Every structure is written in C-alpha cells, then in structure tokens.
Chains A and B, each alone.
Chain A
Amino acid sequence: MTTLEFTLSPEAAIRIHDAVSCLAKFNENVGFEASRDKLTINALNSSKTSSASFTLQGNTFFQSYRFASGARLPNGAEAPWTCSILNKALLSIFKDRVIVSSEGESSVERCEVSVQERPDRTQCRFGIKIFCRHGVKKIYKLTYEPIQIPRPLFDPRTCRNRWKIAAYVLKTFSEFFGPRAENLDMFHDDGRVTFTCYTEKIVFKDEVLKQPLHTAITLETADFEEFDVEDKVHAGISVKDFKAIILHAETLKASISALYSYPTRPMQLSYTENGMQCEFTLQTLGEFRGSSVAPASNVIRPTLSRPPTRQSAQGLALQEIREQTVNSMPPPPQPVGRSFSQMASQRTTRPSPPPPKASVNEESLFVPDDDEEDRVWGARNYEEEDEGELRWESARSTTISFGKLQSNSTTTRGYESAPQSEEGRIAPTQRMSQIKGLFDD
C-alpha cells in the first residue's frame, strides 16, 4: 500500500496555487512524484520542449509530510509514487484562497492531502481536505492517473554560462515584449546583454501568416547578481515559457538563476524559496554548433535584428533520443509526422538557413547517465529510470536528429529545395514554432 499524507499551511496552499497556475501554462495535467522526503509537481509541454518542476521539501515546505511506498526498486530503495491530475481540477480547489488572502485574511486554516493506494481497493482517490473558518470542511476526492513521469536530462557540468538576476527586473522589461512575440533570444556581447523578443515573418503563397516583430532590450551585466557568460553566445527560448516563469518567480520575489551551454542544448532556469525548489528546463533554439564553445565567427549574425535561431528546435526529446542511441539503443524510428515538416518548409519562403557545421562531436551532446549527478540536482532524481521510459516520443517527427537526417536517404520536397552544404548535408529543418503555426493560425 502506498500512502502519501501531508499538511499545508494557508501560505503553502497559496504557493501551491501559484505553482499549479504556473504549470497550467505548460500542460493541462500536473504530474506528482512523491518520494520519502520530497514531493515534486511538474509539467512537460506538449511539444516536449520545456519542462517545469517544483520540488517541495518534505520538512520545510509542509507542516507535516509522510510517504510510504508500496513498491520497491530492484536495489531495495522505496520506489517513488507518481500520478497525474488534471490541472483544472487542482486550480479550482486552490482557486479562491488567493483572493481571500489578498484582503488580509485567509479563510483557509489548514489543508490536508492524503492518498492511499491499495491494490485491493477499486476506488483510490487523491483526497484534499481544506479546513476553513467557521468549522467548514471542504473535502475533494480527485481522480488521478498513474503515469510514468518523463524528465528532462540536464547536466549542469556542461554549462559554462550562468547568470542570476532578480525576477522583478526581468518582469519589468518583459512587459515591453509584444503580445504576439514567440521567441526570446539572449545574447551577450561586450558587457551588455541583449534580450531580443521576436516573431519571424511567415509567408504562405501570397498570404502573410505572421508579421515580423522585434523588441530588443539591453541590460548591463551589472544589473545581474551573478554573471558569467561567454561572449557572443546566443540562447533562444520561447517567450511564453519565459513569461510564465518570471511571473511565478516574481510572486516569490526570487532571483532566477540560468545555466546554459550553447544553442540547441537545454537551458535551466531555477530558483529556490521557502522550501520550494523551482526548476525549468527549456530547450534552446539556435545554431547548431557542435561542441564548439566559442562560437565560430561565421555563425554570428551581423546584427541582432536577426536572431540566429534558424535551426529547428529539436526539443528536449531529441536529447533523450540521442541518449538512447549512445547507449546502443536502436536508432529512432522513422519520423511519422514528417509531412508537418514538409508542409512547414514549403510555406517558408525565407532563405534557407546556413548549413550546420560539419563535424559534430556526438559524445559531447549527451548527458552522461550519472545518477550521482542527478542527485546533486535534486528535482529529477528518478532512481527507477530505465531506457524504456524514454520511449515516449520516439514517434515524433521533431525527434529526428541531424545525424539521423544525414544517414536517412528519404528526402522530401522541402529538403530537396534546400541548398546543401559542401558536405552534402541536408539543411536544417524549420523551427518548432513554425510547425505549430500551421494549427495556430
């Protein structure tokens, strides 16, 4: 029998609400993962390019916390318990409390959560009891779904770029970003950091599907609490994710730390406050530069008005699929949804992006499967990880890697029309946002 019980103070209940409403911007479901001393709630977006997770420390965040697992891992340790709950259901439970508390008094006195999962019970529920003033007790029993929670792989050791800045600074300037802007590019050059928020023009036949838009904001590195970033390194992420993160960080009045290496590798934004460790792993867009640390000069755009994010967003998935490959897993299956890429490339009339650099040190792209390292980074410590779990997106077209493309003799019209580099490589595909654009418009 698996038992999870914890008690929340009114303040913690409000923080749960904030976290859940932040997760709502990533996925419609919230994943819960309970282990002996902490509870993680997380969400992975549908294109699997960004993952948000909040790790709540059992002894500091909760008034009381108890977890007893009914399952054991092969090594004898307690298996974490995972489930998924509809975000909407959680939000409606934790909804009004914030409004009440903003008036100076909270009507919630205590919040108890308990889950008892027994194989012999036909009905198991995620039970939430909220004790309010006047002795009113509100009891919710939510249905949940046992799932395996995928986690992004992120190795901080490969990240040479780091900065830390107060969330309100980011919040202030993000208000200037256009509402329709999709991507955000960060670029450091000569003591100044430029955040460029942009949408690229997309034309389909004679019709302009998306108007280009650029907003650039420059900060001095002195505005940062910590700053250690190589010159001329770009990092591109989705504005929507970025805004969701800083909005949440701002409510905690936290300072956001960023860790990243180079384009196409994941970036991690994190902050810790009141026993709540918030981590966001985002796939960055950008030039595919192999293992080069100092970007080659030919990759740098002449001006910032054209952020160098031409390459397809590979998604976190790519990284994990690659890992499978490295671990002598079979190569990813044929992309099923290639027609998406094909359509998207047909409608993109802008010049084809420059070809990727020739040799890629494949090994350097993969995060070593190192449990110890995971443990250091806390949130994604999934002891029971096995390769099989990573199969969740093998069927996605976007998981195709460049290496795979190269060896893949299948060509599409889109690829044929793309100029090829001297090595005969196929030009990069388009960005994820464009693929989505097919349906958004």
Chain B
Amino acid sequence: MSANQRPMFTAVSSSVRHLIQILKCISLSSKAHAQISDIGIRFSVQDSRVMQGFAFLQKELFSSYKYAQASEEDDHPILQISLESLLETLQIFGLSESSNRWSDNTYGGVSNILARGDPSTAFDSRLLGTAGVCKFSYARIGSPLDIILEESGITTTCELTAYEPDLLPDIPFDKAAIIQKIIIRSDLLLDAINELASTSPEKITMTASGSGRHFSLSSDGPHGSASVEFSPDPQVLETFEVVQRVTNTYKYSLIKATNRAMAMASKVSIRVDYQGVLSLQFLIELDTGLKNFIDFRFIPYLEENDQIGEDNADDFED
C-alpha cells in the first residue's frame, strides 16, 4: 500500500527561526495539541482550562508541504506532543546558528568554525539563520513525529512521541455575537499590561463603552489601583466597534502570559463575545512578508466578581 511507503505528512522548512518564534509565543504549557491539515499545522495549548492559545503554521512557512489524508471521511489527525521538547529540538539549530552555546560566542566560535574547516562561515548562513534544513515527517496515526535537522553536513534525527490527544473542546467564542472589537497597536497593549503590573494585581478589568470611544484597562492591588486609558483618537483605536458598555474581568497572570506574542506582534484585535469570552488575536508580520496570527482566548470571572470591577471602573471615571 502506498500509505505504508509514503508518510502521511512531510514538510520541509529552511527557516526554523520563524517556527521557533511562533511556537514560543504559545509556550504556556508543556503539552500541545497539533492538528495537521492540508493548509498547515494548528497548535493549541491551554492553561487551567480558562485560557487557550492557538498558533497556526501555515503551509507557506514551509518550502515543501505534503499531506495525504488517509481517507476523505477521516478527520485530520490530532497528536499531542511535548511543546517543550519540540522547541528544544528546533533550537538545536538555533544554537549552532549563533555559533555554539558551549563556547564563547565571540572567541570560541571562531575556533569552532575553524575546527570544521569552514573559515568563510563567519558572515554567511549561520548568521543569516538559513543554514539548516528541517524536515517534519509523520508516518501514520500512532507513529512518532520525526524531525530531521540538517546543517552543514550534520544530521540530527529526533523522534517526538505523539500522545493520544486529550480531546478538550476549544473555549467557545461566538464570532457571530461579538459585542466588542477593538484593534490597537500591540505595543500599546503591552505597555498598558506592564504598567498595571505595578500594583501586583490578581485581576485585570477591561472596560469599553461605545459613547466617547472609551477603552481602559484597570487593576487593583494592595498599594492602590492603576488604570490605563486609551485615547479615542482613531490612530490609537484603529477599529472600535462597541455597541454597549462592556466590562469584564480576567486573570491578570494569564493575560500577562501572552506578552511574548504582544511584543512580537504589530497589531492586536481585542474581541469580546456576549458571554464575556475574550479573544486576543495578534498579527505577526514575519520578515519574509508572511503574516501569521496567534490567538488567545480567556474565560472571564463570573458576574459576581464583575461587580467589584464595575465599581472601580466607575471610580476611575470621576
């Protein structure tokens, strides 16, 4: 059978750096689910079942991408793998790209290169990060995910065990019932989130109201409270679609955990559906011109807790 000879999925990438950058943004937990489809690989992670992160490695990120579905009826395979191990594996390249971890970058690196008899490498592929080639291969359901890394004649083969998926449903986010959609520059959000850290808060309250294009984030801590208000200026709030007043409270540490994505992204879309589920969608512009999206979803605190946030929000406005 041809399925036995040819693996179900193979993909080759020559820019592992991008894969690492994207996957690091969602390294919230040690295990991740990866779903392979004909348009790319979707990774999902979750934390305490109130936060989920999704990263999508679209097939354009790979120089070659082959996926043969076993049969039309079957779902796309989902495998649970260790995200930590995957990142570590991919970084085997990362390390050798920037010389060597075990030798000093500035001095030892030279001898390292010389030892390999390749004196011209000081300015080439290694620094450009295009030296190695990485090949993913997944033979069939139940087999491990093979990653073969090749770099200047050295080949590393890693077999990552694929576990049975813990099929948890995604946090429901109703795109048809969005009551708040705000797009701002991601660094502004990052600055605001970091600013609130000064109160060592446990919760963060997000308030938006259509009248006056008001959008603010606030938090309370033992030393007092802090709040960051964004200007209604369209250059700051690029998109602002809020019908009514929306106030929701989320766990601060979870929002803060997205800071790597926040720092990398250029824009963020902050959406809330009628249940208060928050979706942060980060637009990452890779230097190859490709655009990548990283999504996070958060479940809000219940209404009772919201009441506290509401009071504070009123307080800030006076």
| A residues in contact (CB < 8 Å) with B | 86, 88-89, 92-93, 95-96, 123, 125-126, 134-143
A88: contacting residue among B223, B228, B232, B236, CB under 8 A: B223
Q: Report the bound CA distance from A46 to B33 in whole Å.
A: 55
Q: Which chain A residues lie closer than 8 Å to B227 at the CB level?
A: 138-140
Q: Report the bound CA distance from A29 to B133 in whole Å.
A: 57
Q: Mark B222-237, 1 if CB is under 8 A from A, else 0.
A: 0111111111110110
Q: Which chain A residues lie closer than 8 Å to B315 at the CB level?
A: 123, 141
B226 and A139 within 8 A (CB):
yes
B224 and A135 within 8 A (CB):
no
Beyond A89-B198, A95-B198, A140-B198, whether A134 also contacts B188 by CB under 8 A is yes
Residue of A nearest to B226 (CB): A140
Q: Report the bound CA distance from A93 to B198 in whole Å.
A: 7
A138 and B195 within 8 A (CB):
yes
Beyond A88-B223, A89-B223, A142-B223, whether A136 also contacts B228 by CB under 8 A is yes
Whether a CB of chain A sits under 8 angstroms from the CB of B192 is yes
* Pairs A-B, 8 closest by C-beta atoms: A135-B231, A92-B198, A142-B224, A89-B223, A137-B229, A139-B227, A141-B225, A140-B226
Q: Report the bound CA distance from A418 to B158 in whole Å.
A: 75
B233 and A134 within 8 A (CB):
yes
Residue of A nearest to B237 (CB): A135
B224 and A139 within 8 A (CB):
no
15 contacts between A and B (CB under 8 A): A89-B223, A92-B199, A125-B224, A134-B188, A135-B232, A136-B188, A136-B191, A136-B231, A137-B228, A138-B195, A138-B229, A139-B227, A139-B229, A141-B226, A141-B316
A140: contacting residue among B192, B225, B230, B235, CB under 8 A: B225
Q: Report the bound CA distance from A93 to B218 in whole Å.
A: 14
Q: Which chain B residues lie closer than 8 Å to A88 at the CB level?
A: 223
Q: Report the bound CA distance from A139 to B224 in whole Å.
A: 11
Q: Which chain A residues lie closer than 8 Å to B229 at the CB level?
A: 136-139
Min CB–CB distance A84 → chain B (angstroms): 12
Min CB–CB distance A115 → chain B (angstroms): 12
Which residues of B199-254 have CB atoms within 8 Å of chain A's CB atoms? 199, 218, 223-233, 235-236
Q: Report the bound CA distance from A95 to B191 in whole Å.
A: 12
Q: Report the bound CA distance from A96 to B191 in whole Å.
A: 10
Interface of A is mostly: mixed
Q: Report the bound CA distance from A92 to B188 in whole Å.
A: 18
A139 and B192 within 8 A (CB):
no
A136 and B223 within 8 A (CB):
no
Q: Which chain A residues lie closer than 8 Å to B232 at the CB level?
A: 135
A141 and B224 within 8 A (CB):
yes
Q: Report the bound CA distance from A141 to B317 in whole Å.
A: 12
A86 and B223 within 8 A (CB):
yes
Q: Report the bound CA distance from A142 to B223 in whole Å.
A: 6
Q: Which chain B residues lie closer than 8 Å to A86 at the CB level?
A: 223
Min CB–CB distance A417 → chain B (angstroms): 48
Min CB–CB distance A349 → chain B (angstroms): 45
Min CB–CB distance A294 → chain B (angstroms): 52
Interface of B is mostly: mixed
Q: Report the bound CA distance from A92 to B225 in whole Å.
A: 12
Residue of B nearest to A144 (CB): B224
Q: Which chain A residues lie closer than 8 Å to B228 at the CB level?
A: 136-139
Residue picked from B226, B232, B315, most chain A C-beta under 10 Å: B226
Q: Report the bound CA distance from A178 to B225 in whole Å.
A: 41
Min CB–CB distance B241 → chain A (angstroms): 19
Which residues of B152-202 have CB atoms within 8 Å of chain A's CB atoms? 188, 191-192, 194-195, 197-199
Q: Which chain A residues lie closer than 8 Å to B235 at the CB level?
A: 134
Q: Report the bound CA distance from A428 to B96 in whole Å.
A: 66
Q: Report the bound CA distance from A126 to B226 in whole Å.
A: 11
Q: Report the bound CA distance from A86 to B198 in whole Å.
A: 12
B316 and A139 within 8 A (CB):
yes
A140 and B236 within 8 A (CB):
no
Q: Which chain B residues lie closer than 8 Å to A134 at the CB level?
A: 188, 230-231, 233, 235-236
Q: Report the bound CA distance from A23 to B213 in whole Å.
A: 40
Q: Report the bound CA distance from A143 to B221 in whole Å.
A: 10
Min CB–CB distance A187 → chain B (angstroms): 44
B230 and A136 within 8 A (CB):
yes
Which residues of B27-78 have CB atoms within 8 Å of chain A's CB atoms? none
Q: Which chain A residues lie closer than 8 Å to B316 at the CB level?
A: 139, 141
Q: Report the bound CA distance from A86 to B192 in whole Å.
A: 22
Q: Report the bound CA distance from A141 to B223 in whole Å.
A: 8
Min CB–CB distance A112 → chain B (angstroms): 13
Q: Report the bound CA distance from A114 to B124 in whole Å.
A: 58
Q: Which chain A residues lie closer than 8 Å to B218 at the CB level?
A: 139
B236 and A136 within 8 A (CB):
yes
Min CB–CB distance B134 → chain A (angstroms): 37
Q: Report the bound CA distance from A208 to B223 in whole Å.
A: 42
Q: Which chain B residues lie closer than 8 Å to A95 at the CB level?
A: 198
Residue of A nearest to B198 (CB): A92
Q: Which chain A residues lie closer than 8 Å to B198 at the CB level?
A: 89, 92-93, 95, 140
Q: Which chain B residues lie closer than 8 Å to A93 at the CB level?
A: 198, 226
Min CB–CB distance B267 → chain A (angstroms): 14
Q: Report the bound CA distance from A95 to B194 in whole Å.
A: 11
Which residues of B60-108 have CB atoms within 8 Å of chain A's CB atoms? none
Q: Report the bound CA distance from A92 to B197 in whole Å.
A: 8
Q: Which chain A residues lie closer than 8 Å to B233 at the CB level?
A: 134-135
Q: Report the bound CA distance from A136 to B224 in whole Å.
A: 20
Q: Report the bound CA distance from A125 to B316 in whole Å.
A: 11
Residue of A nearest to B194 (CB): A96
Q: Which chain A residues lie closer than 8 Å to B225 at the CB level?
A: 125, 140-141
Q: Which chain B residues lie closer than 8 Å to A140 at the CB level?
A: 198-199, 224-227
Min CB–CB distance A261 → chain B (angstroms): 40
Min CB–CB distance A28 → chain B (angstroms): 12
B226 and A136 within 8 A (CB):
no
Q: Contacts A141-B225, A143-B224 known; list 17 others, CB within 8 Å.
A: A96-B194, A134-B188, A135-B232, A136-B188, A136-B192, A136-B229, A136-B236, A137-B229, A137-B231, A138-B192, A138-B228, A139-B218, A139-B226, A139-B229, A140-B224, A140-B225, A141-B316
